Amino acid sequence: MATRKQRAPVQYVQIDALVVLKLIKHCQEEGAGGTDLVQGVLLGLVVENRLEITNCFPFPRHSEEQEDFNEVQYQMEMMRNLRHVNIDHLHVGWYQSTLFGSFINRPLIDSQFNYQDSIEESVVLIYDPLKTTQGFLSVKAYRLTPAMMKFHSENDFSTENITKHGMTFDKMFEEIPVVTKNSHLGNSLLCNLEEEEQEADKYNFLDLATSSMLQKNLRQLMECVDATTMDINKYINCQRQIMRQQQAKQQHIQKRQQDNALRTQRGEPPLPEEDLNKLFKPIPSPPRLECLLFSGQIDNYCQQISSFATQSLGKLFMAESLQNEGPST
Amino acid sequence: MSRFFKAGSDSESETESSEDDELIQQRPSAAPVPSRTFQFSDDEEDSKRIVRSAKDKRFDEMTNIIKQMKNHKNIKDMANVLSDFEALVKAFEKAKKVVQEEGVPRFFIKCLYDLEEYANECWEDKEWRKSISKNNSKSFTSLRQKLKKFIRERFEKEVAEYRENPDQGDDDKKEETPAPEESEEEEVKKPEPVVTKPKLPAPPVRKDEDDDDEDDDDSDWGMSDDSVESESDDEPMEVGKLTAEFFLKKSDSGTARKEKKKKEPKKVKLLESDEEGDWEEVRGGAPLIMERPKMFAKDQDITVDAVMKKLFEITAARGKKGTDRNEQIELLKELREIAVTNNLGLGVDVKLYFNIIGAIFDYNPNTLTSMRNDVWESCLEYIKTLLNMLIDHPEVTVGEDIKEDDEKLQEAPFMIRACFLTLVEKMDEEFTKMLQGCDAHSTEYVERLKDESQVCDIIEKTLRYLEIKGKPMEIARIYLKRIEHLYYKHDNSINQNPRPKHGKIKSKSYIVEGSSEQIVDKLCKYLYTAETSDRLRTRAILCHIYHHALHNRWFQARDLMLMSHLQDNIGHSDIPTQLLYNRTLVQLGLCAFRQGNIRDAHHALVDIQSSNRAKELLAQGLLPNRQNERTPEQEKIEKRRLFPYHMHINLELLECVYLVSAMLLEIPFMAAHEMDVRRRMISKNFHHVMKMSERQTLIGPPESMREHVVAASKAMKTGDWKACKNFIVNDKMNAKVWDLFYQPDKVRDMITVKIQEESLRTYLFTYSNVYDTLSLQTLADMFELTMPVVHRIISKMIINEELMASLAEPTQTVIMHRTEPSRLQSLALQLSDKFLTLVENNERILEVKQGIYPFQNKRDRNDRNPATSAAFQHHTQGLFFFLDILNLFFCIYVELTEKRQFEKKLSYPCMN
């Protein structure tokens, strides 16, 4: 509790193996093989400059009919129960599974904002079940940057505000390094398992079938690009409207000035000033947050693809050299 | 009351109007009897209290009640009539004493008699009885019973007497004023319509012709006479109380009465002159039901004129409310018999036949329901006899343009105003209606359908008759009728060459020799060349095309369709023609399918099938009415347009043909264009069906026709032609669809070949990228096609640039060129396209920003500046990550090419 007041920014996240296993289990059991999103609550403690996540529990899945289900109450109940058995019960964030890294969207930002608003150090863990099955455990911790927090708290996503905060798509999230910590017992078990593990299982990350993964990523990237294009079109339309209005306004003002000039020549009093804003209602510019999010998502995809591509490129070269050696032996 | 007065004032001539007025004034004064003060006229200022005799009082009361009852009778308010009757009986009881002295007053008897007649009449009018309210009908029955009892107990004799001799007074008058008949007749005839008109509400009971009106009037007069009489009779009783006015009145009423009386006799005369001598006819006041045992008096000599007059009389009632149509038919028949027995000649006979048939068609007032079977049969008989008569006697000329005055019924070149063709058309219409009326799956329908041959027979005969006698327009019309009965029937004789024809219609011996094709051809060609209306020609063309298509003459049908340019302007024609067009189009599509022109078949059927309303478009049934799309009236109209069942085109067959042709087109197309950014569809309907089946969680073995096609399509996707064929051509599908075709085996063979070919194409599209070379022989074996066919298909694909390959003749192999991009590559290409548009849009934002500046004044610029520049900034940032992406693309491409080389290296050792 004391550490929280120090406001020392959390430098890295330390996850217990238990949390990772629970997360994987939850995703496996309820996520329909990774296609459905699962969410849960992270429990832990801030120690010095690290956030220790020591336990977690899933949000129960509830169908549409159970409208009266109260999530908050469930969480409180759960945490109270955990406290009774002397388990860490401090809420330090939440986790979510993702499909091909498509997690940057409005709901995530909103809920993470709420978390960080109430619990400053809270993070969101993004778990990618697909990558995990390929042999790379993929758990990433994110939180909103302070700038984003401030920006979001104003709840004004207009172009002006974005500029004011200097908000860009890559300044929304900050990733925090994740460290997995095992207990000694766990480590020794792993050592045991490693001996028993078969050769083939160890190397499924050397899988050379890359095209399906790339295809899927590209498809999603395309969707995102489409959405961005739509958004830009909206913006252009809005700009055109504004421009047209400006012209009309201009003409109106000029006409008024001419009239007034004529009137003063004739010695009549000038026409009363009108509220131009009433005549020409300012056209609301479309919110830009969506565009930001899409950009962020595109960026995320690009990173994913390039990392994936470099890896598989490496694998291919490796395999090629092996192949070259192969026939000769 | 009002009825009487209006009638009176109208029928009285001008000179009497003053007296008339007085009469009117006198009447209302008589009305408020219960007040006991009897005012003789309104202008009499000192209304004296007049003491009246008991008899007077009682009788006045009764007449009053009778008048009220009369009014109530007119509006058929049974409850009030009943209460009036009861009041009358009570009043009569009160007046018993007087009655004993004076005897039963005549007006009372008359009233009873009228009431009885009225009750009987109402009883007979069953329709009316059904329609009245419960309360009304209840009081009506009780009224009837009470009345009967009352009359039976007390006044049986008197009423019977009255019936014998309705108004004694009239008889005397007849002798007194034997006015010249002719002039009087005119006098009466003229005002009559006026007389009847103002009588609103007219008694709906009125059953019959003008005679009845007269009768009615008669009764009115009689009644008024009575009341006047009773008054005038009464008056002398009040001796001493008489005033000058009273005398005046009396004399007035006297003259009025005289006037009226004058009229009565001639009416009686009139009736008599109609040779309805016995009193039965004139009977009483209430309107008569037509019960005429005899047409003419025995002694009357029956001439053509008399018959015609009678005929006119009967037909004059036609279409009038309350005319008993059944009776009319009977009357006409009787008239004809009389005419025949008196040997009045052919002309009269024909004329009467026309009228009888017309009356039969009139019989059913409801346009929706069909006529009864027995009526229909008799109608057919009559038409046949008439037709034979016309054919046998060429001296009879029938025409619509003959004026009524020019009709010649007596001597040899008979001229009759009528149109036989119209009768035939009406008969045909009725026939269609009858077929629509009965359940298509019942034996009743089959029974009716048997008449089809008779109908055709009649049409055929009429055709030949009109060819000789008719005008070109009529010939055209009957030709079309003939065609319309012929075009949808399959003529089996054409394919069973010289064997004696025994097609459905062929059995008739008099049909011009040759197939139905020849007939239709001949008739249609006449219609094309003759000066006929567009509608007839359009319909003829459509029928012609339909007939061609039905007999697999695809090219003739298609050429005719294309030459007629009907597609362009069919939308302007009437709905039945449009329906015929739809039918023709469908039949054309089916024909194309049978001939193996899959694309044409698909084109022809796609419009009908894609809307999912084939049933409605072909007028073979109504779709369930959702959300009140149509009003009941519209629905009725649509129902009337439906084609009878035997003309239907099987909808399942239609759908199946459509789906199979869509499958044959769509599956290879889908395989070829899998990579396309925007996938076009050939058939939305087919895609829809496929999607529906994909949505199912469990796909069992196919049951319905649609499932079969879907399963076949799935098999075809993988190039498995055998499975595909087995799904399309099997016992189930044979029973459901293919056996319905004329030569099912041919069709099945055609489908099999098509499936083989299209499966080969699909296979090549789908799997060409896994082959480097392909042996033609292997392909031929795989798809059980001959080498030349395989060669042909592949060459065609190569020429159309669908398949990137070349044929190596010496080795008989296809060598793939591998120029088409892999899936990932094409995706990347698409992505780059998208990025391009994104970048362009981004630049447009910049343009707008630049463009805006010159037009803005300072203040606005200050407003806008940060915003636009922010947008610019924001989007230029975007440009940076585009660079990233381009970089990434490069990565991907490098990787892909690398990988491909690598794969090649990998695969070669494996192949070796």
Between positions 48 and 77 of A, the ones with CB within 8 A of B are none
Kindly write down the DSSP assignment for every residue of B809-835, as one continuous string. TTTTEEEE---S--HHHHHHHHHHHHH
Residue with tokens 């000192």: B46
Structure confidence at residue B512 (pLDDT): 41
Beta strands at B813-816 and B773-775: parallel, antiparallel or unpaired = antiparallel
Distance in Å, alpha carbon of B847 to nearest chain A alpha carbon: 10
Between positions 156 and 175 of A, the ones with CB within 8 A of B are 158-160, 162-163, 168-169
Distance in Å, alpha carbon of B886 to nearest chain A alpha carbon: 10
Integer Cα distance of B508 and A104 in angstroms: 83
For residue A246, the enclosing domain spans 226-325
Residues A192-214: tens digit of each pLDDT: 888 887 766 666 667 666 667 77
- Please name the member of A218, A298, A323 whose beta carbon is closest to the beta carbon of B827: A218
SS3 state at A138: coil
For residue A165, the domain's CATH number is: 3.40.140.10
Between positions 278 and 307 of A, the ones with CB within 8 A of B are 285, 288, 291, 295, 298-299, 302, 305-306
**A226 in reach of chain B (CB within 8 A):** yes
Whether the link from the prior residue into B201 is cis, omega within 30° of 0, is yes
Between positions 801 and 860 of B, the ones with CB within 8 A of A are 822-824, 827-828, 830-831, 834-835, 837-838, 841-842, 844-845, 848-849, 851-852, 855-857, 860
Q: How confident is the model at residue A45 (pLDDT cuts 50, 70, 90)?
A: confident
Integer Cα distance of A113 and B701 in angstroms: 53
SS3 state at B805: strand
Mean pLDDT of B489-500: 57
Note whether A316 contacts B895, CB cutoff 8 Å: yes
Least confident residue range of A158-172, B18-32, B715-729: B18-32
Q: Verify that A142 and A248 share a domain, yes or no.
A: no
The residue among B260 and A260 whose pLDDT is bigger is A260
- Do A79 and A89 touch, CB atoms closer than 8 A? yes
What's the Rg (C-alpha) of chain B? 45
Distance in Å, alpha carbon of A171 to nearest chain B alpha carbon: 12
Find the helix packing angle between B54-74 and B210-234, rounded to 10°: 160
Integer Cα distance of B451 and B373 in angstroms: 11
**B789 in reach of chain A (CB within 8 A):** no
For A243, name the nearest residue in chain B, comparing CA atoms only. Answer: B852
The residue among B440 and B50 whose pLDDT is bigger is B440
Instruction: Kindly give, in sequence order, each residue whose CB lies less than 8 Å from that of residue A163, ignoring residues fewer than 6 positions away.
Output: B866, B867, B869, B870, B873, B874
For B833, name the nearest residue in chain A, comparing CA atoms only. Answer: A222
Note whether A226 contacts B877, CB cutoff 8 Å: no
Structure confidence at residue B290 (pLDDT): 43
**Which sequence spans correspond to the domains of chain B?**
3-50+178-264, 54-164, 651-767, 823-906
Percentage of residues of chain B with pLDDT beyond 90: 3
Note whether A169 contacts B877, CB cutoff 8 Å: yes
Residue with tokens 């009971």: B205
Least confident residue range of A140-149, A291-300, A318-327, B725-734: A318-327
Distance in Å, alpha carbon of A32 to nearest chain B alpha carbon: 17
CA angle B785, B791, B794 (to 5 degrees): 105
User: Which sign does the torsion angle of CA A24, A28, A30, A36 carry?
Assistant: positive
- Please name the member of B822, B835, B870 whose beta carbon is closest to the beta carbon of A163: B870
Q: Which helix (H) or strand (E) holds B396?
A: strand B396-399
- Please name the member of B831, B874, B891 whose beta carbon is closest to the beta carbon of A162: B874
Q: Could you tell me which of B124, B103, B115, B100 has the C-alpha nearest to residue B65?
A: B115
Note whether B838 contacts A313, CB cutoff 8 Å: no
Residue A197, Ramachandran bin (φ over 0: left; ψ between -120 and 50: alpha; else beta): beta
**A310 in reach of chain B (CB within 8 A):** yes
Distance in Å, alpha carbon of A302 to nearest chain B alpha carbon: 7
The residue among B368 and A318 whose pLDDT is bigger is A318
Structure confidence at residue B759 (pLDDT): 92
DSSP lists the bridge partners of residue A127 as A97, A139
Structure confidence at residue B269 (pLDDT): 43
Q: Which helix (H) or strand (E) holds B775?
A: strand B773-775
User: Which sign does the torsion angle of CA A295, A301, A304, A308 carry?
Assistant: negative
Residue A242 within a domain = yes
Integer Cα distance of B143 and A279 in angstroms: 82
Between positions 860 and 889 of B, the ones with CB within 8 A of A are 860, 864, 866-871, 873-875, 877-878, 881, 884-885, 887-888
Integer Cα distance of B307 and B314 in angstroms: 10
Q: Verify that A248 and A165 share a domain, yes or no.
A: no
Note whether A215 contacts B827, CB cutoff 8 Å: yes
Q: Verify that A26 and A82 share a domain, yes or no.
A: yes
Integer Cα distance of B193 and B401 in angstroms: 30
Integer Cα distance of B279 and B838 in angstroms: 104
Least confident residue range of A160-174, B24-38, B132-146: B24-38
Q: How many domains does chain A have?
A: 2
- The answer, yes or no, to whether residue A248 has pLDDT greater than 80, is yes
Note whether B831 contacts A225, CB cutoff 8 Å: yes
Tokens describing residue B297? 């008096």
The 3-class secondary structure across B26-81, one letter per residue, is HHHHHCCHHHCCCCCCCCCCCCCCCCCCHHHHHHHHHHHHHHHHHHHHHCCCHHHH
Q: What one-character DSSP code corresponds to residue A97?
A: E
Backbone angles phi, psi at A173, to 5 degrees: -110, 150
Integer Cα distance of B185 and B798 in angstroms: 99
Least confident residue range of B207-216, B337-346, B598-607: B207-216
Q: CB B756: neighbour CB atoms within 10 A?
A: 21
Mean pLDDT of B726-731: 88
Which residues of chain B does A234 touch, with a Cβ-Cβ cutoff of 8 Å?
Answer: none
pLDDT, chain B, mean: 70
Which residues of chain B does A168 touch, with a Cβ-Cβ cutoff of 8 Å?
Answer: 874, 877
Q: CB B422: neighbour CB atoms within 10 A?
A: 15
Kindly write down the DSSP assignment for every residue of B352-384, as one continuous string. HHHHHHHHHHHH---SSSPPPHHHHHHHHHHHH
**A104 in reach of chain B (CB within 8 A):** no
Note whether B860 contacts A246, CB cutoff 8 Å: yes
Residue A117 within a domain = yes
Q: What one-character DSSP code corresponds to residue B126?
A: H
Distance in Å, alpha carbon of A132 to nearest chain B alpha carbon: 23
Distance in Å, alpha carbon of B682 to nearest chain A alpha carbon: 25
Residue A103 within a domain = yes
Mean pLDDT of A301-327: 77
Distance in Å, alpha carbon of A327 to nearest chain B alpha carbon: 9
- The answer, yes or no, to whether residue B181 has pLDDT greater than 60, is no
Mean pLDDT of B168-177: 43
**B639 in reach of chain A (CB within 8 A):** no
Residues B623-682: tens digit of each pLDDT: 776 666 677 777 777 777 888 888 888 888 888 889 999 999 988 888 887 766 566 778
User: Which sign does the torsion angle of CA B403, B405, B409, B410 carry?
Assistant: negative
**A113 in reach of chain B (CB within 8 A):** no
Note whether A159 contacts B874, CB cutoff 8 Å: yes
Contacts 24+ apart (CB under 8 A), B391-397: B391/B461, B391/B464, B391/B465, B393/B346, B394/B468, B394/B469, B396/B346, B396/B347, B396/B350, B397/B469
Which residues of chain B does A309 touch, with a Cβ-Cβ cutoff of 8 Å?
Answer: 888, 891-892, 895
Residue B76, Ramachandran bin (φ over 0: left; ψ between -120 and 50: alpha; else beta): left
Between positions 253 and 282 of A, the ones with CB within 8 A of B are 253
Note whether B870 contacts A298, CB cutoff 8 Å: no
Integer Cα distance of B604 and B618 in angstroms: 14
Select the residue from A168, A234, A235, A304 to test the B interface by mutation, using most B Cβ atoms within 10 A. Answer: A235
Q: Could you tell me which of B86, B87, B73 has the C-alpha nearest to residue B119?
A: B73
Q: What share of chain B is helix, strand, coil (3-state, %, to 5)?
A: 70, 0, 25
Which residues of chain B does A285 touch, with a Cβ-Cβ cutoff of 8 Å?
Answer: 867
Q: Verify that A275 and A154 share a domain, yes or no.
A: no
Which of A183, A210, A236 is at the close of a domain?
Answer: A183
Residue A216 within a domain = no
The 3-class secondary structure across B207-237, one letter per residue, is CCCHHHHHHHHHHHHHHHHHHHHHHHHHHHH
Integer Cα distance of B70 and B88 in angstroms: 12
- The answer, yes or no, to whether residue B207 has pLDDT greater than 50, is no
Q: How confident is the model at residue B320 (pLDDT cuts 50, 70, 90)?
A: low
Q: Verify that A287 and A179 share a domain, yes or no.
A: no
Distance in Å, alpha carbon of B761 to nearest chain A alpha carbon: 26
**A235 in reach of chain B (CB within 8 A):** yes
Cα separations in angstroms, B813 against B668, B779, B808: 22, 10, 5
Residue A145 within a domain = yes
- Do B769 and B820 touch, CB atoms closer than 8 A? yes
Q: Verify that A179 and A230 share a domain, yes or no.
A: no
- Do B444 and B438 touch, CB atoms closer than 8 A? yes
Note whether B845 contacts A312, CB cutoff 8 Å: no
- Please name the member of A214, A291, A295 whose beta carbon is closest to the beta carbon of B824: A214
Integer Cα distance of B643 and A326 in angstroms: 78
For B831, name the nearest residue in chain A, comparing CA atoms only. Answer: A222
Q: What is the pTM of this model?
A: 0.54
Residues A128-160: tens digit of each pLDDT: 887 777 777 888 888 888 888 888 888 777 777
- Please name the member of A210, A236, A298 whose beta carbon is closest to the beta carbon of B881: A298
Backbone angles phi, psi at B616, to 5 degrees: -70, -40
Q: Verify that A44 and A127 share a domain, yes or no.
A: yes
